Structure 1
Amino acid sequence: MEVDDTLHFREVHGYTRAFRMMGDGPPLLLIHGLSDSSATWAPVLPLLAEHHLVIAPDLLGHGASDKPRADYAVAAYACGMRDLLAVLDIDRVTVVGHSLGGGIAMQFAYQFPERCERLVLVGSAGVGREVHPLLRLASSPLAEPGLAFLTAPPVRSAVRALAPLLRVGLRLGRDFDYVLDRYRCLTSPTARKAFLRTLRAGVDMNGQVITMLDRCYLTVGMPTLILWGAQDHVIPVEHAFTAHRAMPGSELEIFETSGHFPHQDEPERFAKTIESFISATAPQEFDPARWRAILRQGRPRSPEVSSGT
């Protein structure tokens, strides 16, 4: 097995894209969440790479990738994933998306169904309005100067000192430490601007403003796994059941003791669940005629979809 979990770099559209690559076998694309990076997958990368070529990019505006003034909507990110895969000579993948990355994964499957063999959504964005109040607050017009203040060295020191109180007050449960680490990554102005542009593309003061529910019916025939931590305090686990009902034939796996990051909380179980799902399902074979017929038929009407975000 080829093993290489160091960062690689490719230029796409004039911007440097960082990514990790490990293993050999059927390709598996891992897409991280907001204010995160490919490093989030470190506990599961070597496990998944035992049977797969695993590609874990740093999204544009995140990690070691460039952070330009650019389009940070999920559709643009999906195009970025397609283009990076093209540069790497990879045509089709099983896509695993966490949080924001789940929304990107769903958008990738929608925009490029011929490239998507299977879909795995982990604590995914885009299912309902509910999201942690900190993210709603960060979408406000005053968030930019507020974040600049909160990430200044004296304030960061105070946050460290007040961590025990914040742990209780912010009600993030077991996700607190990792979320706090993500906050510490926003010290540079470019990182903060990329974070806010990405956040505001999908969240406002009332919660999430985009939804995948109106297009979930298009996953008919797409092997789909929905995986969620029951102790998720960032995006509530109820969204897992909503997505499962809206995605015909999908499988649902709840990690009872995990929070928003089940790939870190229970990496061995996470990798085994992904591997079992892949082994038990055949990759989707895209049929354009069937796709057009499903589109013409349209999505089923349901209270959940019509009253979405």
Structure 2
Amino acid sequence: MSATPPEATHEVQFVTLHGHRRAYVKVGQGPALLLLHGLACDHTTWEPVIDALAQRFTVIAPDLLGHGQSAKPRADYTLGGYANGMRDLLTVLGIDKVTVVGHSFGGGVAMQFAYQFPERTERMVLVASGGLGPEVTPAIRAIASPGFHQAMGLATLPGVRQVNTGALRALSHLPSKYTHDLDEVADIVDSFADPAARAAIRHVVRAVVDWRGQIVTMADRAYLTEAMPMCVIWGRDDQVLPVRHADTAARIAPKARVEVIADAGHFPHKDHPQRFVTLLTDFVQSTQPAVYSRARWRALLRNGASAPIPQVAREVSERHGGRSLTIA
């Protein structure tokens, strides 16, 4: 079964897993990239880069459960549940191994996927990812608060929603880093007109955020990236998850490649799609895919993170209009 909404560029296909409909886009040929979108978004967040990536890769861009055109049941919205869902989707599609690319909340899912299924993960790419520090915009913390569902129901009533989203899109054109991503926020507000979508997103947020910020962190398991190539990409003007979390990634995963893009907010793949494609393509082509070894994984788990983290060596250069930190 497949359908293509008028505004979509790529054909959306559907598969039913565990009784729930999952939507996804699959295009291109070559090594597989699994693109995981962020909270309250869907696969269309990757539209600016899908075609360019599909020239070299098989691109799979799903709508996570509770998002987009996928089902929005009362279900397991934990990171582990999402990782299991991605494993099952890839299995149905006949894809054994992927480079997993996660944006924002999708970065948390990418980390969990790589942790649960290292034998199926060749590389990990985190884009303005959650799980690298407690700080998060108050707007996301508010989603988990009492009364959010009702308040957003009022804010998305016909007429009211158009005024709110129109104002957000107008403000997004102002030359300020604080309004950089408001057009994306407007799309999210539009999606909240669906009560099922609001309920699903509230469940997602409550699994990873409380009143103090992000609950989930990769810091305690970062040493496992020793066995897997990792790249982190961030927008310097990110107002959702602070860019200093990219420095955290460099500290806890010293072998990671870290790229900070100037004049980009929380969606660097949309702000600078050509640069994003160049960075991602170069990372994949210049690294060998991880090869899962149970013995090595066992040794890493036994040794844990007890050894001191080595000093991070950085080579900083200005290229493509942004700051590039190549982690030695």
Identify the TM-score tier after normalising by the shorter chain: over 0.9
How many Å separate the matches in 1 of 2:91 and 2:169?
46
Q: Which protein, 1 or 2, shows the higher relative CO under an 8 Å CA cutoff with sep ≥ 6?
A: 1
How many Å separate the matches in 2 of 1:302 and 1:190?
46
Kept after mapping to 1: 8 A contact 2:15/2:21: yes
Kept after mapping to 1: 8 A contact 2:177/2:237: no
CA gap 1:59/1:25 in 2 versus in 1, 3 angstroms: same
Distance apart, 1:160 and its partner CA: 4.2
How many Å separate the matches in 1 of 2:161 and 2:120?
43
Asked if 1:44 corresponds to 2:55, the answer is no
Identity of aligned residues (%): 48
52-61 or 154-163, which deviates more = 154-163
Distance apart, 1:171 and its partner CA: 7.5
Q: Number of residue pairs matched?
A: 299
Kept after mapping to 2: 8 A contact 1:219/1:248: no
How many Å separate the matches in 2 of 1:120 and 1:254?
13
Distance apart, 1:120 and its partner CA: 0.2
Kept after mapping to 2: 8 A contact 1:61/1:195: yes
Kept after mapping to 1: 8 A contact 2:103/2:127: yes
How many Å separate the matches in 2 of 1:185 and 1:131?
21
How many Å separate the matches in 2 of 1:84 and 1:11?
9
Equivalent position of 1:60 in the other structure: 65
Among 244, 248, 252, the alignment partner of 1:238 is 244
Kept after mapping to 2: 8 A contact 1:217/1:248: no
How many Å separate the matches in 2 of 1:61 and 1:163?
24
SS in structure 2 of the partner of residue 44 of structure 1: helix
Q: What are structure 2's unaligned runs of at least 5 residues? A: 1-8, 310-328
1:5-49 residue CA offsets vs partner (Å, 9 max, x unmatched): 210111111111100011001111000000000011000000100
Distance apart, 1:189 and its partner CA: 1.0
CA gap 1:195/1:213 in 2 versus in 1, 3 angstroms: same
Equivalent position of 2:215 in the other structure: 209
Among 294, 299, 303, the alignment partner of 2:300 is 294
How many Å separate the matches in 1 of 2:167 and 2:280?
38
Equivalent position of 1:10 in the other structure: 15
How many Å separate the matches in 2 of 1:270 and 1:161?
28
Normalised by the length of structure 2, the TM-score is 0.87
Among 177, 180, 183, the alignment partner of 1:174 is 180
How many Å separate the matches in 1 of 2:133 and 2:117?
23
Asked if 1:32 corresponds to 2:37, the answer is yes
Asked if 1:94 corresponds to 2:104, the answer is no
SS in structure 1 of the partner of residue 38 of structure 2: coil
Asked if 1:272 corresponds to 2:297, the answer is no
Distance apart, 1:199 and its partner CA: 1.2
Runs of 4+ aligned structure 1 residues displaced above 2 Å come to: 160-168, 170-173, 300-303
- What letter is aligned with 2:275? R
Q: What's the C-alpha RMSD, in Å, of the aligned pairs?
A: 1.9
Distance apart, 1:164 and its partner CA: 7.9
Equivalent position of 1:70 in the other structure: 75
Equivalent position of 1:113 in the other structure: 118
Equivalent position of 1:137 in the other structure: 142
1:67-117 residue CA offsets vs partner (Å, 9 max, x unmatched): 000010111101100000000011100000000000000000000000000
SS in structure 2 of the partner of residue 30 of structure 1: strand
Q: What are structure 1's unaligned runs of at least 5 residues? A: 304-309
How many Å separate the matches in 2 of 1:257 and 1:20?
29
SS in structure 1 of the partner of residue 48 of structure 2: coil
